[in-house]
Amino acid sequence: MPSDFLEVLSPAKLNLFLHVTGRQANGYHELQTVFQLLNWGDTLRFELSETPGIHLTSDLSGVNPTDNLIIRAANLLSLPSDAGVSVTVDKVIPMGGGLGGGSSNAAVTMLALNKLLALGYSVDEMANMGAALGADVPVFVRGQSA
């Protein structure tokens, strides 16, 4: 019998090596990096809801819901119109600390919704979609240090 909720660790990452190799025309830097995913991070709980849509509960003050990477990741997926999911975030990764919290949250959201709603996306498909949200998202989708 399928579960109506998932509770998932959204791991932080630690940069072990970072080298700027150049600059792109758009101003972004080209990087070589090595990082390790940690067994520590935010906890996200996804629970089926009778109310359609993604309903986010978190203690993140000052983050516009349309800018939140959890909502943006959910919007990348083709969710059934009647699907309803409540997402609760226990945020412990500091925002803006370079530990990949937002990227990790986005990746975990895609993976959890794919499983909970049986959407049928492959890991590669989600990694490719997640790249639109940030360069680290595909690594978190694949769940391996890089």
pLDDT at 1: 42
pLDDT at 92: 94
Residues labelled as active-site residues: 13, 136
CA 22 to chain centre: 27
For residues 82 and 50, give the distance between their C-alpha atoms in angstroms, rounded to a whole number. 8
The DSSP secondary structure of 105-121, one letter per residue, reads HHHHHHHHHHHHTT---
The DSSP secondary structure of 35-59, one letter per residue, reads EEEEEEEEEEEEEE-SSSEEEEE--
pTM of the full structure? 0.90
- In which element (H, E) is residue 139 found? helix 137-142
Helix intervals (H) in 44-100 = 69-76
Q: How many alpha carbons lie under 13 Å from residue 143 in its C-beta half-sphere?
A: 11
State the fold for domain 5-11+38-142. Ribosomal Protein S5; domain 2 (3.30.230)
- The predicted-structure confidence for 21-80, as pLDDT tens digits, reads as follows 999 898 888 878 888 999 999 999 999 999 999 999 887 777 787 889 999 999 999 999
Q: pLDDT class for 138, splitting at 50, 70, 90? A: very high
Domain borders along the chain are 5-11+38-142
For residues 15 and 55, give the distance between their C-alpha atoms in angstroms, rounded to a whole number. 32
